[in-house]
Amino acid sequence: MTDLAPPSRSIDVSGIARRAVPFGLPTVDLHRVLVNFALDPRSGEFKAPLNQIHHSRSLADPNDRSVVAMNVDTPYSYAWLDLRTGPVVLTMPPNSPDRYMSAQIVDLHTYIVGYVSPRTASSLGGTYLIRGPSHDSADVPADRVFESPTDLCLVLVRTQLFDDDDMPGVAAQQDATTVTAIGDRLPMPDTVPTVDVRRPLDLSFLRALDWMFHFMPTLPEDRRQREELTALDLENAAPETTLREPGIGTEVNEGLAQGMADVLDRCATVRSSAELFGSRTFFAGDHMTRAAGAYLGILGNSAQEFLGVGYRADENGRPFDGAHDYAITFAADALPPVAAFWSITVYDAAGHLYANDLHRYGLGSRQVPR
């Protein structure tokens, strides 16, 4: 088969495309992060090749564009793992009980596979085995084994910065955080163009999703959705012929636009990050909420680790306007009751840190004397 089915087909192309958006948006957006961080050294945001770790020695700023809603409290470390031929060992150092440090493991669905954090492992450090679906054994002692349902996954490490003079302390903890691959290295298939899910979607959205499927064995609950997408035969369909097929390109684009509208409708009802990020069990097949989480802040933390509340308007419901000043007030002796840190961070309409002449993107416990 070299093209999508002709207009006389029985396949509901528009409906399939519409349903593909909430199902696939997190994966397609994560494809962009994967390419920029680990596969394309020319991307401008390249971090490290697969199965190596990169440590950022500074806080995020407006130049960080691949991930939205980044915090300005913890320098990040990134390790994209390839588990196709064997597991990877993550080593975390012992840590001061005062310093929050966590490793979040995320699969290609954006399900959170697990955490190594003060909540799950105290501050003792340890050795952790991360294993994929294609290779299920390794004679490596580990304090815990994490099972990723996809052959690629991301380890995202956050290390708390206490104050402006604390970067050497952060760097010491980062340098003691390592990843070690057990299996041999396999070549990666040629990638496809990345997709900005904030722009109108077209067939390239489905192609990026199809590329990621190479590393995503079908989960039982996703079988029907995957079969629908397989029926479109995206891998073999040539874009130049597909879009000339009468009505097909229009049906795909209309379905994708409807699916994106569905996701934005869900975004409009979100009250906090607590409902947006979690494990496969947490979502229980709710792809619409998973897509809203990816759109609003891909790679966000689960409610057990973090709570974020976003505001786009003042107390009277009026959208923020740069012509006015605003104040956020805490009652006396009533700063946020947190175990690690809190902050108020300003983002632009696209969810990136708001560029300004002060180079100040957030205020919080780091600025309050300890």
User: pLDDT value at position 336?
Assistant: 85
State the average pLDDT over residues 79-91. Answer: 96
Whether 248 shows a pLDDT value over 60: the answer reads: yes
State the average pLDDT over residues 21-31. Answer: 98
Distance CA 274, CA 308 (A): 7
Q: Where are the domains of the chain?
A: 1-303
Q: Strand 152-159's sheet: what is its strand order?
A: 54-55, 76-82, 152-159, 101-107, 112-116
Do 88 and 179 form a contact (C-beta atoms < 8 A)? Answer: yes
User: DSSP letter string over 161-208?
Assistant: --STT-HHHHHHHHHT-EEEE-S---PPPP------TTS---HHHHHH
* E strands, 210-260, in order: none
Distance CA 19, CA 13 (A): 10
User: pLDDT value at position 106?
Assistant: 98
Burial environment of residue 82 by CB neighbours within 10 A (0 to 12, 13 to 18, 19 or more): buried
Whether 232 shows a pLDDT value over 90: the answer reads: no
Q: pLDDT > 90: what percent of the chain?
A: 72
| pLDDT-based confidence at residue 243 (cuts at 50, 70, 90) | very low
3-state secondary structure of 309: coil
Q: Helices 13-34 & 223-231, crossing angle to 10 degrees?
A: 100
State the average pLDDT over residues 298-303. Answer: 96
Distance CA 84, CA 82 (A): 6
At 13, give phi and psi (nearest 5°): -60, -45
- Domain 1-303, classified CATH 2.60.40.1610, yes or no: yes
Whole-number average pLDDT of the chain:
90
At 218, give phi and psi (nearest 5°): -65, 125
User: DSSP letter string over 41-89?
Assistant: TTSS-----TT--EE-SS---TT--SSSS--SSS-EEEEEEE-SSS-EE
| pLDDT-based confidence at residue 235 (cuts at 50, 70, 90) | low
Integer angstrom CA distances of residue 251 from 20, 21, 242 = 13, 14, 11
Whether 234 shows a pLDDT value over 80: the answer reads: no
Is 0.75 surpassed by the pTM of this model? yes
User: pLDDT value at position 6?
Assistant: 47
H-run or E-run covering 102:
strand 101-107
Give the β-pairing of 178-181 and 112-116.
unpaired
Neighbours of 343 (CB within 10 A): 18
Whether 199 shows a pLDDT value over 60: the answer reads: yes
Whether 249 shows a pLDDT value over 90: the answer reads: no
